[in-house]
Structure 1
Amino acid sequence: MFIYNVTFKVSWNAHDKWLEWLRSYHIPAIMEYNSFSAHKLLKLHNLDESDGATYALQLFADSKADYNRYIELHANEVATIEQRFWGMEVFSFSTLMEIVD
């Protein structure tokens, strides 16, 4: 199993609206692509939060092929939508992890 992890740094100015958008629109839209079987949203702690909160969205893919399909077909569109909605209020980066044990 693979975990596509997207980390977000969200300004306090946009925080509440962004969190609602993420839960009600963004995550459901990603899950409709059928590349991921589950997801978890986590809030990171013990970080400097003076300029905003940090979250990690973990999307679970049953295979590398499922992840690759999402990246090839949908990732750019998802990033464009995020940028259009939130601009400089949200910074994100992604990593791919594989569950080993």
Structure 2
Amino acid sequence: MIIYNVTSNIDASIHDQWRDWIKEHIAHVLETGHFTEAKLTKVLVEEQEGSVTYSVQYRAKSRLALDKYYKNDADKLRQQAFLAFGDKVLSFRTELEVINEYTVKHN
């Protein structure tokens, strides 16, 4: 299983606008059909003054599905973010391979 992780540093001047926008953006990414779920998280680190960092983790259906997303959808969706916020949002992307998942068993 592959997790497609997008980490974004958001300028404080557009933070509220971005928070509203990202919810719709995540829905658009999921509508491509290549992912099964997404999680929006706030990164808990000491930030430079005037910015906040978030991470969105998309669970890809498969490696092939993620490759199809890159080929057919990623550029268009990234361009929408750039048009909306320009350089006030700086993002980087990573791919994570899930090796094992563990849960707590309750007795």
Normalised TM-score (structure 1): 0.95
1:38 positional shift: 0.4
Structure 2 unpaired stretches of 5+? 101-107
Secondary structure of the structure 2 residue equivalent to 1:66: helix
Listed one character per residue, the Cα deviations across residues 54-98 of structure 1 (whole Å, up to 9, x for unaligned) are: 000000012100111101111111111110000011111101111
Larger Rg: 2
**What's the Cα RMSD here?**
0.9
Percent same amino acid among aligned pairs?
Answer: 30
**Bigger Cα displacement from structure 2, 89-98 vs 45-54:** 45-54
Listed one character per residue, the Cα deviations across residues 4-23 of structure 1 (whole Å, up to 9, x for unaligned) are: 00000000000001001111
Partners of 1:22 and 1:46 lie apart in 2 by: 20
**Bigger Cα displacement from structure 2, 62-71 vs 45-54:** 45-54
Partners of 1:71 and 1:98 lie apart in 2 by: 17
Match of 1:41 in 2: 40
Match of 2:53 in 1: 54
Give aligned pairs, total: 100
